[in-house]
Amino acid sequence: MHIHNGFAHEYPQQEKQQLTKNLPSIFNEFIFGEPVKTIGTTFCIWTTGNEKWKTGQIENYNDSSEEMLNIFDGNPQTYIDGASEYYDENGIGTGIPLETLTEVYHGKTLTKKMVLSIVEELEDWKQLEEDLNEIGYPYNFN
C-alpha cells in the first residue's frame, strides 16, 4: 500500500475531501495529519496493492500529478532527463550515469563503485546504509 501527497505552488489547492475521494481510511492519518496538513495538497495518489494508482476526482481540474510524476515512468533515461533539467536550472548540474541508474531501476545490489559513479565523495556511508536498510534496498560496500 502506498500513498503520495503532492503540492505544486503554481496550482490552487482544492478541497482535500474531493482530492481524496474514495481514499482508503488506512491513509487518513497520513493525509489529514501533520506535516501534510500544513504543507498542503494539490494532488493525492494511492494504491493498495497490485492495482493501478488512483486519484480523487475533481471535475475540470488539472491536479498536476501527471506532470510532476511522469519522471517515475520506469525509464531511467526519463529520470535523468528530468533531474538534469531541474538541476541545470538551479546551477547544480547532474552526472548520474545511465548505466548505474539502470542497475538501480532493476534492483541490482548497490555497490561502493556505483555510489561513487554518482557522487565523487560520500561523507556518511553509515547514514546511507541506514537509509538503504529502511527502504529494504540491497547493498554491499565491501
> Taking the model in full, what pTM does it have?
0.62
Give me the residues paired with residue 5 across strands.
44
* Same domain flag for 90 and 58: no
Question: Which residue, 45, 69, 93, sits at the end of a domain?
Answer: 69
Residues 37 and 85 placed together within one structural domain of the fold: no
61 and 9 within one domain: yes
Structural domain count, the chain: 2
98 and 124 belong to one structural domain = yes
Strand order in 54-55's β-sheet?
2-6, 43-47, 54-55
DSSP H helices in 5-97: 16-19, 28-32, 36-39, 65-69, 76-89
The domain in which residue 26 lies consists of: 2-69
* Residues 58-113: tens digit of each pLDDT: 666 666 777 778 877 889 998 888 877 777 665 555 678 899 999 999 999 999 99
Question: Do 59 and 12 lie in a common domain?
Answer: yes
Among 40-44, 49-53, 95-99, 112-116, the range scoring the smallest mean pLDDT is 49-53
Same domain, 49 and 103: no
